[in-house]
Amino acid sequence: MRRSEGGSAKEGVETVSENHSRPAMAKQCSPHHPGERDKPWLIRTYAGHSTAAASNALYRKNLARGQTGLSVAFDLPTQTGYDADHPLAKGEVGKVGVPVSHLGDMEKLFDGIPLAQMNTSMTINATAPWLLALYIACAEKQGAPRDALTGTVQNDIIKEYLSRGTYIFPPEPSLRLITDVIAFTYREVPKWNPTNVCSYHLQEAGATPVQELAFALATAVAVLDSVRDSGQVPAEEFPQVVGRISFFVNAGLRFVTELCKLRAFTELWDEICRERYGIAEEKYRRFRYGVQVNSLGLTEQQPENNVYRILLEMLAVTLSKSARARAVQLPAWNEALGLPRPWDQQWSIRLQQIVAFETDLLEYEDIFDGSTVLAAKVAELKEAARAELARIEAMGGAIAAVENAYMKEQLVESAARRLEAIERGEQVVVGVNAYRESEPSPLTAGADGGFLAADPAAEAAQIRGLEAWRRARDAEAVQQALAALEAAARSGANIMEPSIACAHAGVTTGEWGAALRRVFGEFRAPTGVGGAVTQAAAEEEDALVPVRQRVEALSRRLGRRLKMLVGKPGLDGHSNGAEQIAVRARDAGFEVVYEGIRLTPAQIVGAALEEGVHVVGLSILSGSHVPLVGEVLERMEKAGIGRVPVVAGGIIPPEDAAALKKAGVAAVYTPKDYDLSAILADIVEIVDRSSQEAA
């Protein structure tokens, strides 16, 4: 039950106001004076696709329908610092967000939208300094002063190593870049949230509520320690920096537990700010957060049920005033199928507006204060989170827990337990493992299948525009700006002003990324697969037993251990599905080759040839499955291993699945195929059949 990356979380909270979440205090739950209502949260949808012009049209349409802030989704080349014509960008341009290659694209993206009056959230991490620089340069060309800008860059690289995969540089230089953004914005763009510590993707990767609390708070501590120790912020101004830290959280269907988690977040953050950093002023200790509710649980089967799931999840972050979100964006009902259409996003906006304006929710103080049941659950979560924080601190902090794979292994294990519970029927998912009989949904009966297809011509158009941009700019000014950027990176100087100068000079996203890659190098995060311990591996009487027996029998017939390569071609960093297949295949007796994310088709084919694998499994959730899988098949044929079967998984519409099978893919698996043991049994049968045909 995975969603497309285009619906991943996207984040931001508004500036400090009197209504931000604060530690729960006993108070009467009486209504306000007649006519008084709290200010509603910022209403957003996460959006961006195909081109800057198409995304601009969508933004303006949503704003006209009552959306009160923007949340920008960037495509994967933009997120990972590549231009649209880079080999790794092939098939990825405009798929999960908008491509922004240079200042001209940013100007098109916000054409007709006055940035001095807009609250803009940008889901961007490894290239956050660059996209913020482009945004500031765009605002300056509009005549907007820096200190008028309000919004957020996510700028949380630690969770990228754990869940989302759009990192570029090693942890230490990445933390330095986060620090540079924070130190620059608190002076130059004081109403901007320079980092949005993001637990959203941790839950999507399998985190329990305790892990979500502890891992996110450990990340925030690592960031603030880095800023404090950088020498860029005077001690007397450090509380202001603490007050600019914001969070972006997830909220699942167990909404009572989720509500308690948010109250625990609020109280633990206040505690950390007081005890670790000595922050005296209450306003600087407030837990300011935005939210996108859970997408992991959205189902491809009976997708209309997702509307109810989304509403229930929203209650967790709006019902409790003392822990209420200040910005909410809801996924669309169809994100397990593909990208949402404008109508689907409107439906999510209307849901927020009904809760905010038709109910009496905002007329009351916190309706849960005084509840002994909730207080006990909050205390339980806090105690467990403190213990986990202490464990991470003993390792040397969040960066050490990334480098030694501790946090990644914990997430892989938690995700495996969740999937096993669904497979066993212990965790009921309506329409998936229970109540599966259903009338056909009229929502998916149209010619478009109920979702938006990215414009197939967008990539070529973006490349043509990029080439024209390069020809028209001052090449000497570009080289001077890049030299200044690289010098700042090497010397330890703050990179924001040189990045803004690069934006004005016409530097491209790929050129900015290449300059910093030369200085900092690149990083491959631990996969967490090798050390993950699962329940299925420890039990003998489970659904995996017959699969193990078939693997053993086939291995004996083949004369060696059945070997599977699990690959993630392209820039898609959502590795949860690939990791779970790799872990379960290992537990079933396969020899598994899994090298993590962001591989070219050539690298995957080279590994398949070198390792002598019996089957290749490709996982792609970014919508780029047709070109990437097609290239893998072509290269395998040329390498002389065209008889090795290939299977594919991801958010793959039926017509694309048919095209892949016609091209030679042996099987296609989508979110409806939740039973991993059944998938592996199918793969064993495919290899068995293929080997007999080859003989």
Print the SS3 string covering 49-77.
CCCHHHHHHHHHHHHHCCCCCEEEEECHH
> Residue 401 has what pLDDT?
96
Domain boundaries, the chain: 41-404+439-444, 535-694
> Residue 36 has what pLDDT?
81
Q: How far is CA 193 from the centre of its chain?
A: 18
Cα–Cα dist 448/279, whole Å: 54
- Asked if residues 306 and 299 have their Cβ atoms less than 8 Å apart, the reply is yes
Q: Which of 226, 237, 145 is nearest to 192 (CA)?
A: 145
> Residue 147 has what pLDDT?
97
Cα–Cα dist 503/133, whole Å: 7
535-694 has which CATH code? 3.40.50.280
Q: Report, as residue numbers or ranges, the catalytic residues.
A: 46, 200-201, 568, 572, 574
> Residue 293 has what pLDDT?
87
> Residue 3 has what pLDDT?
37
pTM > 0.85: yes
333: its two tokens: 């009902």
Mean pLDDT by 10 residues, the chain (695 residues): 38 38 43 75 91 95 93 95 94 93 98 96 96 98 97 95 91 96 97 95 93 97 96 96 95 94 97 97 95 88 95 94 93 89 92 96 95 97 98 97 94 91 93 94 88 86 97 98 98 97 98 98 81 56 84 94 94 86 92 89 94 95 89 95 95 92 95 91 95 78
41-404+439-444 has which CATH code? 3.20.20.240
Phi, psi angle pair for 189, to nearest 5° = -130, 70
Q: What burial letters (b/e) apply to 486-509, b meaning 16+ CB within 10 Å?
A: bebbeeeebbbbbbbbbbbbbbbb
> Residue 257 has what pLDDT?
96
> Residue 512 has what pLDDT?
98
> Residue 535 has what pLDDT?
60
3-state class (DSSP) for residue 520: helix
